[in-house]
Amino acid sequence: MSLYVIGDTHLSFGTDKPMDIFGGWNDYSERLKNNWQILVNKEDTVVINGDISWGMSLRESFKDFEFLNSLNGNKIIIKGNHDYWWSTRTKIDSFFRENGFDTLKILHNNAYRIGEFCVAGSRGWFFDAEPDSKVMARECARIDRSIISAKSLGGETVAFLHYPPVSQAKDCEAIIEVLSGHGIKRCYYGHLHGSAAKYAFCGVKYGIDFRLVSADYLGFCPKCVCVP
């Protein structure tokens, strides 16, 4: 049982929003599928760090969920800034259940134990988002609740966010405080694509190992979260 992570799949099987128009995104869904099926086994789990689908509703994202559900392993989904289809947990869980998407789960104020790890996290808030103290407080609270839930399950708690909590130029102190306060040692984030990846910080800061895992940055190949 292994744990993998990849962010920003930006699927658009049910919408007219192809990512192929951007450099490096040619045939991205096929490349993602091929790499995924080679690496990930049926008993494995993949965390997807937000920006899952361009669909504006659950129904419009149906084909994207269908695609993900067909891939090997279980998938844990975090909300990204472009996941306009996101609804209440009850509605999402019901939609997945009614349509037989039995390998898809959402991470929202909760956590999951996967082998030696506990998966915790939320969308986060920072970088190119507009400053909003209420949103920041809400996201910090969600991350805090998720980590507390993870700690009750045992194993190493690993944080997964959509927005980067650190960059080459500036850090999000509020979120760093939550992560550091809980003794988090590893954090995976997405959101940054193409030339924007130059702003990413990958390495150890505040005692936490931060890694960018957006799909194009990883070459559309899920990254293994390995035991140190």
> Rounded to whole angstroms, how far apart are CA atoms 75 and 153?
19
Confidence of residue 218 (pLDDT cuts 50, 70, 90): very high
Kindly indicate the confidence band of residue 227, based on its pLDDT and cuts at 50, 70 and 90: low
Tell me the pTM: 0.94
Report whether pLDDT(127) > 90: no
Mean pLDDT of 41-67: 96
Domain residues for 125? Answer: 3-224
pLDDT, position 175? 94
Is the pLDDT at 129 greater than 70? The verdict is: no
Q: Is the pLDDT of residue 18 over 80?
A: no
Number of domains in the chain: 1
Q: Quick check: 6 pLDDT over 70?
A: yes
Residue pLDDT, tens place only, 71-108: 999 999 999 999 999 999 999 999 999 999 999 999 99
- Measured on CA atoms in the order 95, 100, 104, 105, is the torsion positive or negative? positive
Percent of the chain's residues with pLDDT above 70: 96
Q: Which residue has the higher pLDDT, 134 or 113?
A: 113
Residue 114, beta-bridge partner list:
117
Residues 155-209 pLDDT 10s: 999 999 999 999 888 899 999 999 999 999 999 999 998 888 888 999 999 999 9
Angstrom distance (rounded) from CA 43 to CA 72? 8
Q: How far apart are CA 86 and CA 79, in angstroms?
A: 7
Q: How far apart are CA 147 and CA 109, in angstroms?
A: 9
In the chain, pLDDT over 90 holds for what percent of residues? 79
* CATH code assigned at 29: 3.60.21.10
pLDDT at 133: 80
Tell me what pLDDT residue 17 has. Answer: 81
